[in-house]
Structure 1
Amino acid sequence: MSAGWKAVRPLRHRDYRLLWIGLAVALLGSGLWLVALAWQVIELGGGPVQLSVVTTAYSIGLVVCVLFGGVAADRLSQRLVMVAADVVRGCVLLVVAALALTELLEVWHLAGAAVLIGAGEAFLIPAYTALVPKLLPAEELLAANGLEGTLRPLAQQATGPALGGLVIAAMSPGLAILITAFTYFFSAGCVLAMRIPAAEPTEAAEPAEDRVTGVRAMAADLREGWAYVRRTRWLLASLLFGTVFVLLILGPLEVLLPFAVKDQLGGGPSDFGLVLAAFGIGGAIGALLISSRSLPRRYLTVMTLMWGFGALPIVVLGVAQHLWVMAVGAALVGATGSASMVIWGTLLQRRVPDQLRGRISSLDFFVSLLLMPVSMALAGPAGALIGIPAVFVIAGVGPALICVLVVYWGRLPSDELANPLDPAPEPASA
């Protein structure tokens, strides 16, 4: 079977195909919403401060609710959690679109809507992660994560924003928001059309009549998830490395990269957009390539070293004097990071027990989000203090050094050999 066919093999399954189509349309809507939101703030007379307030509100909804989203994914039907999240996001944007089209919209409306949209995504992502293994055989999960890793940057970072720009230029931000609402409803319809039971109850360790409910149950579920992480060395090591990775690279990429393009290249918004596009395209290619073959036998070591040493091209972003050099560096960072994420998502689905998968996924998401604002807050002052090139050198070299320690401390080589996921087939008998 060719590598290209293997990468799309999960789409043969009807239920997963419906889920993937719904995800694709929802991601297009999310990309459209990002552009519509910015221009709607501008139309309301707002500036960077107002837009920052709205985007921060989205982050608050995401961070506050993501752990609860993991609990819901493990206790409830993942399909119904996803439908509810999409319907809530769609209804919220219907209200925002109605206010915008009737010229009654204010910035505080957008901020309130952003909190609810972030909360909806916080419930949706763990449920999606926990549901996919129920739709596909284990050997196709890598390809499924590769499909998602290819789709996400193309739909959310490229096609969606481009579509949003066209709609806004031709009509208005309010209409773009209305279209986004219908993309979420379409996604919910695709999930509802899947032929799986309406509820997938998780087997509990204790009898149903002895299970606690409410706040105590939620706290107990969160403690159980954290206890599993602490006693699972490869998982703890990977999460700790991911936390440091986000702290080191996110701020420079999000805050300092525009200034690197301006100061080093004398470039403008179009050059910055080209570098971002190279990052997204590199991510799509990396996800497609890693999913076109079998999971590496040394999957933990390959993932961690690819994450760490794959950050080295970030150094190029801080010193490049030519646009094409910077674009190539961004594409390499995007490719290795996306390929590593495909392996990571596959490990969460194959090595984490079914009854804990939603909570571990949400904990992973929570840890990543927790230091995101810290990284962004430190990047600016660090760039002013030691210079932008020096910050990019630290962001590129730091993960490469730390990943070696993680491989050793986490005992990743011995763990992956003791827990093979895709062993080589035995030779046929004569």
Structure 2
Amino acid sequence: MPAVETEAVAPTTGRPAYRDANVLRWLSAYAASAVGDTIYYLALSWAAIRGGSPAQAAVVMAVSAVPRALLMLGGGVLADRLGPRRVVVVSDTARSLIVLGVAALLLVTSPGLWLLAVVAVVFGVLDAVFMPAVGALPPRIAPPGQLARIQGLRGLASRLATVAGASLGGIAVAVGGPAVAFGAAGVLFALSVPLLLAVRITPLPTDAARPKSTPRRDLTDGLGYIRRHPVLAPLLVVIALGDLGFVGPLNVGLALLADERGWGASGMGLILAGFGCGSGAASLLLAVRGRMARAGLVQALALIVGAGAVGALALMTQVAAAIGIAVAIGLLTGVSGAMCSALLQTETDPAYLGRVTSVSTLVSLGLAPLSFPLTGAAIGLWGTVPVFTASAAVCAAGAVYGLCSPALRRAELPR
């Protein structure tokens, strides 16, 4: 399967990623798209709530998850066959045209929830091809030794995009309703396209002698590559178990814990802010420091201690202590997650990056959220402390599994 991108080679200088103009162009494009995402989801949820019942609005918000999960692996195949930048550019162009069209419709008519549901489904399809391609881009724009820094920069951009997108989306809805918010999201998606086109991409070696294969064969080949790889196979198990044990307590359990302790919505918000500060600090540390020695061991140890902090959160009776624990969770899981991402990208053959990223994204964003209803039901039956403890044990089990893999435990990031 020959590579199709033949752009100028990305620079391989020793400059840190935060001083590399090529990386900064990519980061600007990523940030614009991420802010647009946040504004889009805010506009969609507000329009759905105004157009129907809470239950109908929830359905509109949830339907995008179905095509995203079902098509994610296919999106990875597409990124490897066509090149990740081409897929991201086409995806953001399509997203821009769609939301600008919705904004125009909302200005002249009230199309109803059916339109919002269709848009959500289409966005789910686009996300399925967009996410693997985004994950496959960093190794094509900078040397391997800068990938940890790029993960830190990406984490900072994601945090800032959430804050900026929520603020801008709220202002846009207040000023002109969902139509203006959709329009703002569309402009930001469009802004990312020329920035991406200006990024220099390292082309993959072209193997003209390799016979053409089908998408299904590419998918099977990619899954087999992961299964045989001494580092990637255990690493993906660590990612799956870590996310499975982490997202339920922090997304569903925290609200129930705050209600049980009498902390209220303000207390929950402060705890989430603490988590965000810890995660942002981890991203900043990696963006500045760059490489960490013994990355495989560091990610496992950080995950184990972070798992202990998740369990300890349910034991807190004072909101101030819970905030401190949340900061520690954000810092530790942020370091572990960034190390996992950097190892995944440096250990993967560039020809397989889209497919490997699609599997990682699927277990993180497709399968882990299935724990939401299970976490809520389990807390209703047994209470917060046992469920938080069990979730922490799942996280720790992932870390222990990684430590039991010699290849992963000894894995290093390139200098």
Aligned residue for 1:261? 258
Distance 1:409 1:194 in 2: 37
What is the 5 A alignment of 1:101-120? Answer: 101-120=107-126
Distance 2:382 2:406 in 1: 33
The amino acid of 2:254's aligned partner reads L
Cα displacement (A) at 1:389 = 2.1
Match among 206, 209, 212 for residue 207 of structure 1: 209
Residue deviations 1:371-408 (CA, integer Å, cap 9, x gap): 22421121111011111222112222432244224311
SS at match of 2:52: coil
Aligned residue for 1:389? 385
Distance 1:78 1:256 in 2: 36
* 1:40 is aligned to 2:47: yes
Distance 2:238 2:87 in 1: 30
Residue deviations 1:105-133 (CA, integer Å, cap 9, x gap): 32221121112222222222222232222
Matched-pair contact (CA < 8 Å) for 2:257–2:384: yes
Distance 2:23 2:42 in 1: 29
Aligned residue for 1:162? 167
Matched-pair contact (CA < 8 Å) for 1:264–1:319: no
Cα displacement (A) at 1:181 = 0.9
Distance 1:226 1:323, change over 3 A: same
Distance 1:358 1:401 in 2: 27
What is the 5 A alignment of 1:200-279? Answer: 200=203, 203-204=206-207, 207=209, 210-212=211-213, 217-268=214-265, 270-279=266-275
Cα displacement (A) at 1:201 = 6.0
> Aligned residue pairs: how many?
402
Aligned residue for 1:5? none
Residue deviations 1:278-308 (CA, integer Å, cap 9, x gap): 2222211111113332423311111122123
Cα displacement (A) at 1:136 = 1.1
Matched-pair contact (CA < 8 Å) for 2:89–2:193: yes
Distance 1:100 1:318, change over 3 A: farther
Matched-pair contact (CA < 8 Å) for 1:66–1:122: yes
Cα displacement (A) at 1:341 = 1.9
Scaled by the length of structure 1, what TM-score is found? 0.87
What is the 5 A alignment of 1:17-28? Answer: 17-28=24-35
The amino acid of 1:126's aligned partner reads P
> What's the Cα RMSD here?
2.2
Matched-pair contact (CA < 8 Å) for 1:90–1:180: yes
Distance 1:294 1:99, change over 3 A: closer
Aligned residue for 1:55? 61
Distance 1:13 1:160, change over 3 A: same
Aligned residue for 2:191? 186
Scaled by the length of structure 2, what TM-score is found? 0.90
Matched-pair contact (CA < 8 Å) for 1:309–1:399: no
Distance 1:78 1:370, change over 3 A: closer
Residue deviations 1:184-203 (CA, integer Å, cap 9, x gap): 01011211233559xx4663
Identity %: 30
Aligned residue for 1:427? none
Matched-pair contact (CA < 8 Å) for 2:140–2:201: no
Match among 333, 336, 344 for residue 337 of structure 1: 333
Distance 1:103 1:259, change over 3 A: farther
Distance 1:412 1:263 in 2: 40
Matched-pair contact (CA < 8 Å) for 1:33–1:180: yes
Distance 2:41 2:272 in 1: 15
Distance 1:403 1:381 in 2: 26
Match among 315, 326, 339 for residue 322 of structure 2: 326
Cα displacement (A) at 1:33 = 2.0
SS at match of 2:121: helix
SS at match of 2:292: coil
Which runs of 5 or more structure 2 residues have no equivalent in the other structure? 1-14
Residue deviations 1:202-244 (CA, integer Å, cap 9, x gap): 635x725x313xxxx1111111111111111321112112222
Cα displacement (A) at 1:71 = 0.9
Cα displacement (A) at 1:154 = 2.1
Match among 371, 376, 395 for residue 375 of structure 1: 371
Aligned residue for 2:6? none
SS at match of 1:292: helix
Which stretch of the first structure deviates more once superposed, 310-319 or 296-305? 310-319
Cα displacement (A) at 1:179 = 0.4
Cα displacement (A) at 1:22 = 1.2
Aligned residue for 2:345? 349
